[in-house]
Chains A and B, each alone.
Chain A
Amino acid sequence: MSDLSQVLERKATRRRWLLLTPALVILVFAASGPLLITLVYSFLTPGDYGGVVWTFSGEAWFNVVFQRDIFDETLGWSDAHLSIFWRSIKLSLMTTLACLIFGFPTAYFIATRPKKQRDFWMLLIIIPFWTNLLIRTFAVLELIRNEGTINTILLGIGVIDEPIQMLFTEFSIILGMFYVYLPLMVLPVYASLERLDFNLVEAGYDLYATRLRVLRRVILPLVKPGVIAGSILVFVPSLGAYVTPRVMGGGNQLMIGNLIELQFGQGRNWPLGAALSITLLAIVMVALLAYVRAAGNEEVRHG
């Protein structure tokens, strides 16, 4: 009897592993493998024309945050890198915030539509996903460049005398990333809101809570998992964004992604590029841990 159940249990376990195998193979060879190579490369010496020379060196990691003066070899912070790190984090946070501020009401609107209409509104949110990222980014660029739609109209009706410089600023990068990543916020928040029992909202109103307080005390705590998921989904790709800062920032507003690309391209410093990649990974992990922990604490405090 127990033999039989053990055999069956073993069979079930084997079947579960079999189901996992394709995903495991992809993970090992397509994610862990390249990551390992990147890690190894970051401890090697750059080759003269790109690539790496197989000599151990900590130089790349040193160069991530420090630099030696070209003339007197004095040690100093690598201002260029640090400012790029800071800009990346700042712009990603602002993008996440913008997506939350605009995405939450959108998700709420869709979740409160009659069931039949929701699919239609979700479709409108998802449609931009069917278009290439580069094309979507250029569409925003067309809107805000000096000779673009907005400036042309404003000049035409005489509100301004000369075009407003919107392109190639931090604002334009945030706008681009906001537009590209907004669906990633709306989808998980909508999923949470759709499961929300709207009787609870009515109960809130019934117990003398104003609309704002119902939002803060009833709705937000209950859809927090969706908000956290959405924020992570927006923040992480924003931090490593490459195309959008390149197109919208015009090359003088670098983010980490662009810096890494530079090292593997014109910079011909693959080890530094690899070290920067690992650094980006570390920043993302620290940010996620901090965020999840903060969100978790909040939960405990609210009871």
Chain B
Amino acid sequence: MRLLPRRASLSIGGWCVTTAISARNLRKTYPGQPPVHALGGIDLDILDNEFFTLLGPSGCGKTTILRLIAGFEHPTSGTLEMFGTSLLDAPPHKRQINTVFQNYALFPHMTVAQNIGFGLEMLGRPRAEINAAVEEMMALVQMTQMADRQTSQISGGQQQRVALARALAPKPKVLLLDEPLSALDFKLRKAMQLELKRLQTETGITFIFVTHDQEEALTMSDRIAVMSDGAIRQIGGPRDIYDHPSDRFVADFIGDTNFLSAETVSADGTTIRLSSGKEITVSGAPVQGKVSLAVRPEYARLTTEEAGLLSGTLGEVVYFGTDTHFHVALDDGTAFVLRQQNGPDVTVAFATGDRVGVHFPPATAQVLRD
């Protein structure tokens, strides 16, 4: 796994980073009683050649951003630029942006090849060039044998590939993907995630990917914007977002998290007293008073009552194949879940009902404002 997002390393090397899409104070309000604020003033910079993901629960405004960039809808206020040129006056067919729709939206009255060639045909390219591009695209998504099939005669995964090829064929500057994998089954989705990442690297096109699946976002993206209620909560690389969530919402939405209530005791806020009375030193943002501490289940481990930072009673032990989950009821009443990787050498020393201790490296705990 890459430790730093690709762009960050490039800028360290002194590269000039180009911004593909830039939004300032972007707002979208739908009229009604009461009016719906889909987007409440978003600032966003998406870099050229980047795999950027908008992640959030349904109704958080991520699809609205996509539709604004595609041009299907107009912002209520704010600016939206692509490579420094305002997009606001350009209708969808004048924007060098293509979309992979959630339900693929393949033209049912055309063959696979006709679908893929549609964009170039509308751009008025010569026949020979269209045919060559269609060939190339079909090879890229491994659909060459299906060229003359009707779109109703191919499977969901194949439709997905065709939709992708159709959107890539005109070589757009930016490709928008609106939850394109949500209709696929688990195995296919896994395969397509890698495929998408490969396509993005090969074509060098900026991908803007919308999803509510945090795992999908973490595996594919260079950078992720976590959204809720029409606002961006945090932007960063996958590791950044996972290990250093900026607030409780992000910590809760990305992966599984245990929340502990604690209190800062030192003036600089780096020393924190847990509910068990033990004190730890953390590196997170210093906040005075009552705070929440986020601890990932896989960073904590079970130990004896005396050795742990926290103590409690072991409840259920759930076997998951690759790992085992331990549910601990802490003495202050909070539930705490630990995850332990299974392996040939791993033994479980505790049984349900035992008094146990919970330990975690203090540096992995994230201090959040309450």
Using a CB–CB cutoff of 8 Å, the interface residues on chain A facing chain B are: 197, 199-200, 202-210, 213, 217-218, 221-222, 299, 302-303
Contacts and interface: CB of A to CB of B under 8 A. Distances in A.
A218 B369 CA distance: 52
A303 B109 contact: yes
B110 A302 contact: yes
B166 interface: yes
B114 A208 contact: no
Interface in B113-152: 114, 118-119, 122-123, 150
Contacts of A207: 93, 98, 118-119, 122, 166-167, 170
A218 B72 contact: no
B244 to A, nearest CB: 36
A294 to B, nearest CB: 17
B108 interface: yes
B218 to A, nearest CB: 28
Contacts of A205: 71-72, 91-93
B105 A200 contact: yes
Given A207-B166, A208-B123, A209-B122, A200 B107 contact: yes
B170 A218 contact: no
A206 B91 contact: no
B103 interface: yes
A206 B163 CA distance: 12
A197 B101 CA distance: 12
B101 A203 contact: yes
Of A197, A205, A206, A222, most buried by chain B (CB within 10 Å of CB) is A206
Nearest to A207: B119
Nearest to A299: B109
Given A206-B97, A208-B94, 12 more contacts: A197-B105, A203-B99, A203-B107, A204-B107, A204-B118, A205-B91, A205-B93, A207-B98, A207-B170, A209-B118, A213-B122, A222-B108
B111 interface: yes
A217 B107 CA distance: 10
A206 B109 contact: no
B231 interface: no
Rank and list the top 8 A-B pairs by shortest CB-CB distance, nearest first. Answer: A207-B119, A199-B105, A205-B92, A203-B105, A208-B122, A209-B122, A221-B109, A208-B93
B60 interface: no
B105 A303 contact: no
Interface in B169-219: 170
30 contacts: A197-B105, A199-B105, A203-B101, A203-B105, A203-B106, A203-B107, A204-B118, A205-B71, A205-B72, A206-B72, A206-B92, A206-B93, A206-B98, A206-B99, A207-B118, A207-B122, A207-B167, A208-B93, A208-B122, A208-B123, A208-B170, A209-B93, A209-B118, A213-B122, A217-B118, A221-B109, A302-B109, A302-B110, A303-B109, A303-B110
B105 A202 contact: yes
A142 B166 CA distance: 56
Contacts of B93: 205-210
Contacts of B72: 202, 205-206
B314 interface: no
Interface size class of B (residues with CB under 8 A): 20 to 34
Contacts of B122: 207-210, 213
B329 interface: no
A40 B166 CA distance: 62
Contacts of A213: 122
Of A207, A210, A218, most buried by chain B (CB within 10 Å of CB) is A207
Nearest to B91: A205
A217 to B, nearest CB: 8
Contacts of A202: 70, 72, 92, 99, 101, 105
A299 B109 CA distance: 8
Contacts of B108: 200, 222
Of A203, A205, A209, A221, most buried by chain B (CB within 10 Å of CB) is A203
A208 B124 CA distance: 10
A218 B103 contact: no
A209 B94 CA distance: 9
Nearest to A197: B105
Contacts of B111: 303
Nearest to B114: A303
Contact of B70 (A206, A217, A299): A206
A119 B106 CA distance: 29
A218 B166 CA distance: 15
Nearest to A221: B109
A185 B40 CA distance: 45
Contacts of B106: 203
A218 B108 CA distance: 9
A302 to B, nearest CB: 6
A226 B105 CA distance: 21
Contact of B101 (A199, A217, A218): A199
Nearest to A209: B122
Nearest to A214: B93
Interface string B69-87: 0111000000000000000
A303 B101 CA distance: 23
Nearest to B94: A208
B107 A218 contact: yes
Nearest to A199: B105
Nearest to B123: A208
Nearest to A218: B107
